[in-house]
A = this chain, B = another copy of it.
Amino acid sequence: MQALDGKITIAISSQLYLKNPETSDLGRRIVTGSIDLIEEIGLENFTFRKLAAHIGTTEASVYRYFENKHKLLLYLVMWYWGWMEYRLTFLLANVESAAVRLRRSIRLLTEEIVEDSSFSHINEVKLNRIVVSESLKAYLTREIDEDNRTGAFSYYKQLVDRVSDIVVELSPGYDYSRMLVSTIIEGGHLQRFFAAHLPRVTNVREGEDSVVRFFTDLAFRTLDYQA
């Protein structure tokens, strides 16, 4: 995947920003810096003032790129899902078996990202942690219908569609393919968060990736497919 770095960009709905942060050095510093800072102090404590100080600019300049921190978060989350879809495409290319494609998809969706592939100026390891801990806050708001109209969730919905197509291919009679996939995605994030903070509601053991195993097992048993 390294060979494509710097050549591929992920298109983000222009309704999420006032000025495209990809087009300037300051814009990229805002994106890079916000990932650093949100990962470090959490979304609640993150403000544009702190971000400005962190990257050596002014609050007013940050506001020239993003309306508010909610829109910035939507931008980051949308980028993440665009990137995930791009990775999925490579991961499934030339793979014949639907079972293998599903297995790989579930792994992709639920595993922790540990290696920064240095896709441009974005640290994917940190962004993954942000998505795990903060992305639901981008969904669970009163503005969701409006944000949905602006295209903020288009990659997310596409990804659910693509994986649920594999589910249907594998188990044509199954009625809940999209619910299964979105449950795996969000459940995967939650289980990672719970494993770190409320281990009593999980069954995470050392030395293996229980989250990936749990959801893989869950999906294949549900689809009555002993793989």
Query: Bound state CA distance, A52 and B69, in angstroms?
Result: 28
**CB neighbours of A42 from chain B (8 A):** 141-142
**CB neighbours of A142 from chain B (8 A):** 41-42, 44-45
Q: Does residue A180 face the partner (Cβ distance < 8 Å to B)?
A: yes
Q: How many copies does the complex hold?
A: 2
**CB neighbours of A160 from chain B (8 A):** 200-201
**CB neighbours of A204 from chain B (8 A):** 179
Query: Bound state CA distance, A217 and B190, in angstroms?
Result: 21
Q: Are B136 and A198 in contact (CB under 8 A)?
A: no
Per-residue contact bits, chain A 199-227, to B (CB 8 Å; 1 contact, 0 not): 01111100000110110011001101000
Q: Are B222 and A224 in contact (CB under 8 A)?
A: no
Interfacial residues of chain A within 151-195, with CB under 8 A of chain B in the complex: 153, 156-157, 160-161, 175-183, 186-187, 190-191, 193-194
**CB neighbours of A186 from chain B (8 A):** 186-187, 190
Q: Are B187 and A201 in contact (CB under 8 A)?
A: no
Q: Does residue A60 face the partner (Cβ distance < 8 Å to B)?
A: no
The residue from B45, B144, B224 contacting A221, defined by CB atoms under 8 A apart: B224
**Interface residue ranges, A against B (CB under 8 Å):** 41-42, 44-45, 133-134, 136-137, 139-142, 144-145, 148, 153, 156-157, 160-161, 175-183, 186-187, 190-191, 193-194, 197-198, 200-204, 210-211, 213-214, 217-218, 221-222, 224
- Can you list 8 contacts pairing A with B, beta carbon distance less than 8 Å? A44-B142, A136-B137, A148-B198, A181-B201, A183-B187, A186-B186, A217-B222, A218-B218
